[in-house]
A and B are shown apart, each in its own frame.
Chain A
Amino acid sequence: MVVSKSDLIKFFDTVQSEFDIFVPYQTEREKDDLVFKQYDSEKEFVLDKYRTIDPVRTLFYLPSESVLPPSAKTNKRIIAGVKNCDLLGLAVLDDALLNDNFVEPNYKIWRDSSYIISCDCTDALQTCHCVLLDNNPYPNNDTEGDALFDLNVSPVEDKFIIEVGSKKGEELLEKIKEVCTLTEVTNNDKEIREANHAEVLKKVRDINSDFTQDRHYDVITENKEASVWKEFCNECVQCGACTNICPTCYCLILNDESTKEEFRKVRSWDSCQLVGYAEVAGGGTPREHRWETFRNRYQCKYNFMKFNFDKLGCTGCGRCISACPAEIDLREVIQSLQEV
């Protein structure tokens, strides 16, 4: 189905009393930067372009929230303009936080109450590198039943092609139909979409043309002691920005805020890059050197998460590159390891 942009705005205006709506907006400070904000009918949102600064994870796994009792709100939410790198990030988090043995209470509430409308990328940032991970800058909507979105929209001129990815998506489409006039997808629409896909794919490939496309992450294990780690980590200040900004990081610390009457626990983000992270009472730590701490993030993203979830923990969003005050580029780290 196809919906016009003006109709989609009409839809958001109509349902904003029923849903909390989050969409990307340009920031005031840097026009190129996009951030998820609560829907404001007065301001123009940006569904397409590229990823936001913060991963969508921050709407599902808050920097700090009470887990005993759970503090997540059950209001229904629409989160629109999510990019493929973030959908892939949520897939990792789903495996980690909603599995047969463990259900993270807040994450489940946030996830259950949210309807995700993803959007194809139409542009790319210099740090974008999904193609190096064999991912595309638009969701895979060919696989039946495996879609990571509820609805996906592909921009075609001043309209969007809507794809349904789940039961929740069907539900949402029904609501859209109540407000908007939908038309059938024409062959011309499809051709434009294909051309857009090819164009953005080429753009991300061109950005990453200096890097080997064929990547093997066993180079991390094979070169555990390589000088590459020590060289790159020389610049690292162990601030933890790379992990806080990552779409798949979920390390946490628990603070006990219990009283005599009631047990209460607050969960906050932690980072394996911070000093003292794995240190135990008595001072023992499995990662004594700074370069081992630095290396741990790579092992975790490319080896451990692959082992645990059969998915890479890196989706190619490139946020850790943008956020790093030392300008460490993980693409270069992997490239250097491949060339050892």
Chain B
Amino acid sequence: MPDKNPYEVLKADVLDVIEESPTIKSFYLKPESPFEFATGQFIELSLPGIGEAPFTPSSSHYETEKMWVTIMNAGFVTNEIHKVQKGDVMGIRGPYGKGYPLDKFNGKDVLLLGGGVGLAPLRCLLQTMIHDAKDYKSITVCFGARTPADMIYQDQIDDWKSVGGVRHLCTVDKCSEGDKWHGKTGVVTVLLDDVIIDPKDAIAIVCGPPIMMKFGTFSLIDKGFKPENIYLSMEKKMYCGFGQCRHCVIGKYYACKDGPVFTYEQIKDEEKIWD
């Protein structure tokens, strides 16, 4: 039995805050001691006196001294977090859950399908995979957002593309006149037509808003990806992080403890997985 208090919080200094889009900010944090985690695991990030919420770090798990967390202003806690400035103090609990089983991706074509703020955990995965790029046959990145202004991490695309074996595709739902946009237009699944990997043995990782994950998964199945090779980052109300509070249950599973990464095969028969 572990003797550490599971509610223990690590103090973290806010080193920088970047505005990624009108609704999304990235926070650069320095925990008081190195923080180890596996890509895909999540943390509970707290603002003293306000509350906490679950987020997946958006930087590589090879970086343990400092970490980036990308957060959309979507509710009570995130609204308060968006007011945080450089020099403020936050708290970190975790890491929690199971990450991506990178060993199973070894030597395979890997497709990352992300939408909106779902790009945040995928960035963590991508940065980690780029660190060991030779371990994968190829990495295809398909990112979508509502408008060009909502597409985060645009300044990093060139860095990613410069890595051998990495291909980057992007699309926005809507593009207004005068927007600077060189990618496609349409929902993220339109990018799948341009993907040139053989789906039979390929791995797909999907993260984004529920509706995008639903249709993304269905499209991948149509293209020939196997349900056991489609990994979904299920973001539910992961309140405690260790399977105690029961807010995040997906049928008999806990999103926090058994996930947040599930294969579609694992949860396809559970109810309301897309809500």
Q: CB within 8 Å of B: which residues of A?
A: 67-70, 96-105, 224, 250-260, 263, 265, 267, 270, 272, 277-282, 284-288, 292, 299-300, 303-304, 307-308
Closest Cβ of chain A to B97, distance in Å, is 12
Chain A residue nearest in CB terms to B247: A278
- Name B49's contact: one of A101, A259, A307 (CB within 8 Å): A259
Chain B's nearest CB lies how many Å from the CB of A217?
13
12 contacts between A and B (CB under 8 A): A70-B5, A103-B2, A250-B246, A254-B239, A256-B46, A256-B48, A256-B52, A270-B245, A272-B246, A278-B248, A280-B235, A292-B272
Q: How many chain-B residues does the 8 Å CB contact rule pick out?
A: 46
- Knowing A254-B52, A254-B240, A304-B249 are in contact, say whether A105-B7 is a contact too (CB < 8 A): yes
Whether B9 lies near A304 (C-beta < 8 A) is no
| Complex: A250 Cα to B245 Cα, angstroms | 7
Q: How far is the CB of B272 from the nearest CB of chain A, in Å?
A: 4
Question: Which of B2, B50, B235 is in CB contact (< 8 Å) with A102?
Answer: B2
B243 near A258: Cβ-Cβ < 8 Å: no
A102 touches B244 (CB 8 A): yes
A69 to chain B, nearest CB (A): 8
Chain B residue at smallest Cβ distance from A295 = B271
Is the C-beta of B104 less than 8 angstroms from some C-beta in chain A?
no
Question: Judging by beta carbons under 8 Å apart, are A256 and B75 in contact?
Answer: no
Interface string of B1-36 (1 = CB under 8 A from A): 111011111010000000000000000000000000
With known contacts A103-B1, A263-B48, A286–B6 Cβ distance under 8 A = no
Closest to B54 in A: A280
B118 CB to nearest chain A CB (Å): 13
Q: How far is A103 from B76 in the complex, measured between Cα atoms in Å?
A: 29
B146 CB, nearest partner CB in chain A, Å: 14
Select B272's contact among A96, A253, A279, A286, beta carbons within 8 Å.
Answer: A286
**Minimum distance in angstroms from B208 CB to a CB of chain A:** 12
A69 to B6, CA, bound (A): 11
Q: Which of B46, B237, B251 has the most CB of A within 10 A?
A: B237
Separation in Å of the A157 CB from the closest CB of chain B?
43
Please give, as numbers and ranges, the residues of chain B lying within 8 Å of A252 by CB-CB distance: 239-240, 244-245
Q: Write out the residue numbers on chain A whose beta carbons fall within 8 Å of the beta carbon of B114.
A: none
